[in-house]
Amino acid sequence: MTRILSVAVSCLLASLCVSARADSCDEDTLQSKDDDGTYLIMQSGAVYEVLAGDNVDSALWLPADDVMVCSRTVVYQGRSVLVYDIINKDENEKVGAIRRR
């Protein structure tokens, strides 16, 4: 029974890893943010709204932190939605976000 459960968990994790693969990644730098970390403004001019709950981490990020912005497409209610993972390379933290501009 333990072997079957282990195989099932491995298969589930493998499928999650495939669906979470990034479409593309770009380097950027945090220019500014609002006080609670909900909105991140990058030096490139891009503006991201951090997903609920993840702003606990981004609230502590500092301007001039180097980030990696990776886009990925997920299917939500039958529609393809572009979601971003913003990885703060200085803090070694990641938040999910949607692009507003």
Q: What is the sign, positive or negative, of the torsion defined by CA atoms of 21, 22, 27, 29?
A: negative
Answer yes or no: is 40 within a domain: yes
Answer yes or no: is 79 within a domain: yes
Answer yes or no: is 12 within a domain: no
pLDDT of amino acid 22? 61
Answer yes or no: is 6 within a domain: no
Which residues of the chain fall below pLDDT 70?
1-22
Within 10 angstroms of residue 8's Cβ, the number of other Cβ atoms is: 10
Residue 53, CB-side half-sphere exposure with 13 Å CA sphere: 1
Strand locations in the chain (E): 24-33, 39-42, 47-50, 66-76, 79-88, 93-99
Listed in sequence order, the DSSP H helices in the chain are 2-19, 55-58
Write the single-letter amino acid at 98.
I
pLDDT of amino acid 21? 55
pTM assigned to the model:
0.75
Question: Residue 79's domain spans which residues?
Answer: 22-99
Residue 70 token pair: 């990776």
Number of domains, the chain: 1
